[in-house]
């Protein structure tokens, strides 16, 4: 399975300029190749192959006066940008042909230097881990990295990212074997909500931290200061960075809390079942801010890949399943209820239910039924996975094949 490891990088001033140049060159190659394919499609011509685009927009473009500065960055950066465009087109074609599951994927769009996230992707022949703990990036230099943990295996690709707050990150993709945990008898169902982040089928509740709500007062003040600055001025640029940094702090705290909570649930249960919520639909209601603050989608994604990593069973219950309408004691369906009804009495067995706890129990029962029907990924008695699909690296990045210079696993000097 592929896993991603992110580390904070601290480039020097000259290295920041070199990275900015690499970001811009990769963006130009993407836009030029995308423009050629769109023009060919509008003219009714065949789809332009990647080899032809590589020859025209990279190799020959370096020899022209208009694009001579493309030679100042590593050729790997330019080739990876073209490969990313090919991947975007493939995802679009697979989506419209119903070969790709999930939401409909749109066609690729042009990139802008004003995008909040700038990134370049490198294969193993364009970066190298040094003995002093730095990471060498071709035509950039040795980047200082804050290593929080060792890499479990040699990385297969590297993505250098600059976020909206001006921070730099190195993201390594590594191929590792699953870390199977000892088997347990416990299983649980989760009912995700807003008043409580999650209610487990055993009755325990996980309180919602509400990081965005807690930082809202400071964010409002910073955004007021930003709105008063003159557009295009340096003061406005500095104020924008302050707002972006505050949002980054909120996102980092939420992500760290999600990781800790999901890891604890996976370690304590052999099987985890969650209701498949329509987060994108709820994000367009009056509860949008609270829904996005909770981050249900990211949390469920963490549960899913950690279950595969540690040999646990994970299954999603269909969103059409009436978990809040069925009595978990007798199975009687008592009909829909408004959101303000937090407890109710079954009309058949007269059992008194807490709405969230009852829903979590019903999710558990439905998840067990899904597993019994063979529609969930479960490990067999020997610990080997049964019908398990490949797990992609997080943030949907595939690793490239290793060739060229070898890369050492771990971080020397720690």
Q: Which candidate, 305, 212, 218, 281, places its Cα nearest to that of 251?
A: 212
Active-site annotation holds for 275: yes
Catalytic residue, chosen from 32, 275, 293, 366, is: 275
Strand partners, 9: 145, 168
The 3-class secondary structure across the chain, one letter per residue, is CEEEEEEEEECCHHHHHHHHHHHHHHHHHHHHHHHHHHHHHHCCCCCCCHHHHHHHHHHHHHHCCCCHHHHHCCHHHHHHHHHHHHHHHHHHHHHHCCCCCCCCCCCCCCCCCCCCCEEEEEEHHHEEECCCCCEEECCCEEEEEECCCCCCCCEEEEEEEECCCCCEEEEEEEECCCCCCCCCCCEEEEEECCCEEEEECCCCEEECCCHHHHCHHHHHHHHHHHHCCCCCCHHHHHHHHHHHHHHHHHHHHHHHHHHHHHHHHHHHCCEEEEECCCHHHHCCCCCHHHHHHHCHHHHHHHHHHHHHHCCCEEEEECCCCCCCCECCCCCCECCCCCCCCCEEECCCCCCEEEHHHHHHHHHHHHHHHHHHCCCCEEECCCCCEECCCCCCECCCECCCCCCCCCCCCCCCCC
**Does the annotation count 191 as an active-site position?**
yes
Catalytic residue selected from 32, 84, 191, 397: 191
Q: How far apart are the first and last CA of the chain?
A: 25
Residue 94 bears catalytic tag: no
Phi, psi of 173 (to 5 degrees): -105, 125
Q: Which of 32, 84, 293, 356 is catalytic?
A: 356
User: Which residues are tagged catalytic?
Assistant: 191, 275, 356
């Amino acid at each position: 399975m592929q896993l991603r490891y992110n580390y904070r990088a601290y480039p020097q001033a000259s290295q920041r300029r070199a990275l900015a140049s690499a970001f811009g060159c990769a963006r130009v190659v993407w836009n030029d190749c995308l423009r050629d394919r769109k023009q060919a499609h509008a003219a009714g011509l065949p789809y332009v192959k990647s080899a032809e685009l590589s020859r025209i927009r990279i190799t020959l473009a370096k020899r022209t006066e208009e694009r001579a500065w493309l030679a100042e960055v590593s050729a790997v950066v330019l080739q990876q940008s073209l490969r990313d465009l090919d991947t975007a087109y493939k995802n679009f074609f697979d989506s419209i042909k119903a070969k790709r599951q999930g939401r409909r994927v749109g066609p690729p769009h042009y990139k802008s230097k004003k995008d909040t996230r700038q990134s370049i992707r490198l294969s193993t022949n364009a970066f190298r881990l040094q003995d002093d703990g730095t990471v060498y990036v071709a035509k950039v230099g040795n980047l200082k990295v804050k290593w929080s943990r060792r890499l479990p295996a040699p990385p297969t690709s590297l993505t250098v990212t600059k976020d909206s707050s001006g921070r730099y990150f190195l993201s390594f993709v590594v191929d590792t074997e699953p870390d199977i945990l000892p088997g347990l008898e416990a299983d649980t169902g989760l009912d995700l909500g807003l008043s409580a982040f999650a209610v487990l089928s055993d009755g325990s509740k996980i309180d919602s931290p509400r990081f965005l709500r807690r930082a809202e007062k400071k964010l409002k003040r910073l955004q007021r200061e930003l709105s008063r600055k003159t557009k295009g001025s340096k003061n406005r640029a500095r104020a924008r960075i302050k707002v972006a940094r505050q949002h980054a702090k909120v996102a980092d705290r939420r992500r760290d809390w999600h990781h800790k909570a999901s890891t604890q649930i996976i370690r304590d249960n052999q099987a985890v079942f969650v209701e498949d919520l329509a987060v994108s639909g709820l994000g367009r209601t009056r509860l949008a801010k609270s829904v996005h603050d909770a981050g249900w989608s990211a949390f469920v994604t963490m549960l899913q890949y950690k279950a595969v990593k540690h040999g646990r069973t994970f299954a999603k219950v269909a969103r059409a399943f009436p978990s809040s309408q069925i009595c978990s004691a007798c199975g009687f369906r008592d009909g829909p209820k408004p959101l303000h009804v937090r407890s109710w009495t079954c009309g058949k067995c007269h059992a008194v239910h807490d709405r969230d706890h009852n829903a979590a129990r019903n999710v558990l029962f439905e998840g067990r039924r899904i597993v019994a029907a063979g529609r969930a990924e479960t490990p067999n008695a020997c610990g080997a996975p049964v019908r398990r699909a490949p797990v992609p690296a997080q943030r949907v990045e595939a690793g490239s094949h290793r060739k060229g210079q070898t890369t050492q696993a771990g971080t020397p000097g720690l």
